Amino acid sequence: MLRRYAPVYSLLLILTLVAAPCFAWKFVSMADSRGGNDGVNAEVFGRVIELVNAEKPDLVIFQGDAVSGSKDTKELSSQMDNWLRFMKRLNCRWYYVPGNHEIRSAESENVLREKLDQPLNGPPEHKELVFSFDHKNAHFVGLNSNHYKDAHRVQLDWLENDLKSTSKPHIFVMAHEPTYPAGPHAKSSLDAYPNERDAFWNLLEKYGVRIYFCGHEHLYKRSRHGNVFQVINGSCGAPLYTSGVGIIPVYHYVVVSINGPRVKCEAKDLNGKVIDSWEYSVAWPARK
């Protein structure tokens, strides 16, 4: 009897082994490492890099203000080189979207492109600074909220076309600026244009995005608007903000663990202590 079903059991075992790597994995999100004489808060950011490596994530996403920035492109280039020295310590692939401190002009965007190695599937005018990619059972989208000609907006048309083309069950979107600021950047974030802000959030809702990661405000704050979480993970080095409603003003990073349809998120401080955590599940195995 067992011999009769042996081929079926073997096939199920093979399928399980092939699919297993897709079921349990993690990534880390962080933003705003700027500070210091060389553009980066070396002490804090160096510690965060150590902690992130200890998590053994598949990848890291970073939402801008990597460095203090400068109108002088040579100085910006030098600061980015310093930041990259830290990022190269990571034991995994990483993806970056720009912040307002990096982008001051078309020339500064070109400096970033010279330093980066990112997907090329975004709009031509946002080459390497707007993109999407898949990893296992997740789809990631990076947007530019700080284009030198069009700050406080994101690329809505491109975003919708991208989101409608994916069937991955887990979708995460990131940009530098928050949609719903919690600290001193009210009216100088994506909320500067309420109609476009609302259109952006409606797209996230429509296509099943569950988390929007951002920085800009140097604090930690998780909030939920409809079915989408906004996570401001705004300092792995930048000077902390202490004013705001419901904020946690500590240096931090966010670990996202995915196991099949389940997602567990943990924000951690420089001691690796969990300062916030939450969980949710998505439809499985794929969106329609």
Neighbouring CB atoms inside 10 A of 175's CB total 31
Cα separation, 160 vs 162, whole angstroms: 5
Task: Tell me whether residue 106 is in a domain.
Answer: yes
Q: For residue 184, what are the domain limits?
A: 25-281
Q: Is the pLDDT of residue 247 over 60?
A: yes
Task: Tell me whether residue 115 is in a domain.
Answer: yes
Q: What is the pLDDT of residue 11?
A: 45
Neighbouring CB atoms inside 10 A of 142's CB total 28
Task: Tell me whether residue 13 is in a domain.
Answer: no
Task: Tell me whether residue 134 is in a domain.
Answer: yes
Do residues 135 and 178 lie in contact, with contact meaning Cβ atoms separated by under 8 Å? no
How far does CA 197 lie from the centroid of its chain?
A: 18
The mean pLDDT value for 214-236 works out to 98
Cα separation, 63 vs 246, whole angstroms: 21
Task: Tell me whether residue 267 is in a domain.
Answer: yes
Task: Tell me whether residue 3 is in a domain.
Answer: no
Task: Tell me whether residue 54 is in a domain.
Answer: yes
> For 87-105, how does the pLDDT look when each residue is reduced to its tens digit (9 = 90+)?
999 999 999 999 999 999 9
Three-class secondary structure assignment of the chain: CHHHHHHHHHHHHHHHHHHHHHHEEEEEEECCCECCCCCECHHHHHHHHHHHHHHCCCEEEECCCCCCCCCCHHHHHHHHHHHHHHHCCCCCEEEECCCCCCCCCHHHHHHHHHHCCCCCCCCHHHCCCCEEEEECCEEEEECCCEECCEECCCCHHHHHHHHHCCCCCEEEEECCCCCCCCCCCCCCCHHHCHHHHHHHHHHHHHCCCCEEEECCCCCEEEEEECCEEEEEECCCCCCCCCCCCCCECCCCEEEEEEECCEEEEEEECCCCCEEEEEEEECCCCCCC
Q: Is the pLDDT of residue 19 over 60?
A: no
Cα separation, 138 vs 24, whole angstroms: 12
> For 25-36, how does the pLDDT look when each residue is reduced to its tens digit (9 = 90+)?
999 999 999 998
Task: Tell me whether residue 11 is in a domain.
Answer: no
Q: What is the pLDDT of residue 13?
A: 40
Q: Give the chain's domain count.
A: 1
The mean pLDDT value for 166-181 works out to 98
What is the CATH number for 169? 3.60.21.10
